[in-house]
Chain A
């Protein structure tokens, strides 16, 4: 009973599944085709692949000890930024969702202004605005600016997800809680959110994945994340192809791992419908 994974779209078509042999054969054909194209393309460019250079940027052996290379150090910064931003963006998102659903005109107004501002300007501009304008005014460093920009941006989108989850819960739940004497806050905390979050977990996961990807933009304000480290190495070595392949693969590995973990958590939570 997984409705939100990629596999479900295949089930929706009334056609029979192709046989696995044909299916895998097709897949290999496409991969082979792309590889040939790639190979011929780089050949005509006369590109000299130097993959052997790459491992030391990931890990190196120094005096019998494994030492993290610049790419791994960058990845750690990316983790720090996305980790903090993720928590903050969910807080902003939840708060904004609750404000938009509140009876207070002021709360709804503030939420509305925040959402419109964030959704109708580019993330890069928001990042620059926070770093170059708010940063000096409020005396905050580039790491904080990066986190603030990312969490405000992703929070606006998360709030839509939270809102959809909250309004999807049947009003009978509110009425039952009301008649038992629960406060509004208690109703959110113990009745509505636990049910809503189960429903929106897939959407929140894609939000987290977006956050990881969007975090690459912080390299533009010289935060030494994975992307910035990549740029640095390319500038030094001119190994553009190898380095960007590697950086992309690292992002991919992280986001796929995250999706898989959350999928597993989800199927555990699904015990209760």
Chain B
């Protein structure tokens, strides 16, 4: 645990604000720091800004003010910085977003070849390793729409991991899945956490949070209301709003 409580910060978010063109203020002076190898779980009601926060971390949304630094690289207007951060930060979406015209293997290979400039052979080696890891090497030549939701999400995780990212973001990765498939995806995420991947996970899966998270953050209206270990936040929340929210999702 030494590393996780003392290690250096890999994500430093300082007072970011984000207002959408329609006037919705999704993040208000939002600050957070995440250490290397830490697993951070973000919970909060719908519309509280969880997705917006994740999407700001890899430049999918532009922030209006404040600063984001990832692994020492500031996410500013410089193109090379933005690209570097996109390479170092992997993201897994609720709706998988696999490329339907490419096979599973090609999905996992693509960015390795285009962005990391690997040869097809090298990329395939890495991809097959990762597909083994997520438990579906036999589906390499299949197209995504022939897979179950759980399998698709595992491919999406493998695809993100293929870039060898330093940080992985999960935005409600299991919310679109049938109940019987949630477990298999959570297993993959847990093993990743245990290997020491730095993870920011938006999820209301308490079992996952209790088992592998180092910290749970409860946010509402674009700001952090409460944070602590899973035991603290779930078992003995200090804030009334946290209590109310937890009673609603349980």
A182 lies within 8 A of B115 (CB): yes
Q: Does A23 contact B (CB under 8 A)?
A: no
Mark B189-204 against chain A: 1 for CB-CB distance below 8 A, else 0.
0000000000000000
**Chain A interface secondary structure, helix, strand, loop or mixed?**
helix
A183 to B115 Cα, complex, angstroms: 8
Contacting residues of chain B (76-112) with chain A, CB-CB under 8 angstroms: 83, 86-87, 89-91, 93, 95, 97-101, 110-111
Q: Are B163 and A181 in contact (CB under 8 A)?
A: yes
Are the C-beta atoms of A195 and B100 separated by less than 8 Å? Answer: yes
List of A residues within 8 angstroms of B98 by Cβ: 176
CB neighbours (8 Å) of B163 from chain A are 180-181
Say yes or no: is B159 at the interface (Cβ < 8 Å to chain A): yes
Inter-chain contacts of A195 with B (CB < 8 A)? 99-101
Do A179 and B110 touch across chains, with their CB atoms under 8 A apart?
no
Chain B residues whose C-beta falls within 8 Å of the C-beta of A173 in the assembled complex: 97, 99
**A-chain residues with CB within 8 Å of residue B60 when the two chains form the complex:** 175, 178-179
Extra contacts, 15 of them, besides A179-B91, A198-B101, A273-B100 (Cβ < 8 A), are A175-B97, A178-B58, A178-B60, A178-B86, A179-B86, A181-B83, A181-B86, A182-B110, A183-B83, A191-B99, A194-B101, A195-B99, A195-B100, A272-B100, A272-B143
**A139 located at the interface, meaning its Cβ lies under 8 Å from any Cβ of chain B in the complex:** no
Instruction: State in angstroms the CA–CA spacing of A175 and B93 once bound together.
Output: 9
- Give every chain B residue within 8 A of A272 (Cβ-Cβ): 100-101, 143
Q: Which 10 A-B pairs have the closest CB atoms?
A: A180-B111, A176-B97, A179-B91, A172-B97, A181-B115, A181-B87, A181-B86, A194-B101, A186-B114, A195-B101
- Number of B residues whose C-beta is below 8 Å from A? 26
A216 to B143, CA, bound (A): 44
A side interface size, CB within 8 A? 19
* Interface presence of B70 (CB below 8 A): no
Contacts of B100 in A (CB 8 A): 195, 272-273
**Complex: A194 Cα to B107 Cα, angstroms:** 14
Chain B residues with CB under 8 Å of A170's CB are: 97
A49 contacts chain B at the CB level, 8 A cutoff:
no
Distance A273 CA – B100 CA, assembled complex (angstroms):
8
Q: Provide the residues of chain B in CB contact with A132, threshold 8 Å.
A: none
- Shortest B87–chain A CB gap in Å is 4
